Amino acid sequence: MTENEPARPGQTLRPGSPASGDPLAAALLAAQRLLSRLEVDPDVRIRLHLRYMAICTSLKMPAANRTRGAERLERLIADVRAACAWHPEGRGNQDASPPGGDEMSV
Q: Where are the domains of the chain?
A: 23-86
What integer best gives the mean pLDDT of the chain? Answer: 76
Question: What pLDDT shows up at residue 85?
Answer: 80
Model pLDDT for residues 57-86, shown as the tens digit of each residue = 999 999 999 999 999 999 999 999 998 886
Name the DSSP class of 8: P
Task: Classify residue 6 as left (phi > 0), alpha (psi -120 to 50) or beta.
Answer: beta
Which ranges constitute the DSSP H helices of the chain?
23-36, 42-60, 66-86
Question: What pLDDT shows up at residue 84?
Answer: 83
51 CA to centre of own chain: 8
Asked if residue 3 has pLDDT above 50, the reply is no
Question: What pLDDT shows up at residue 70?
Answer: 95
Name the DSSP class of 6: P
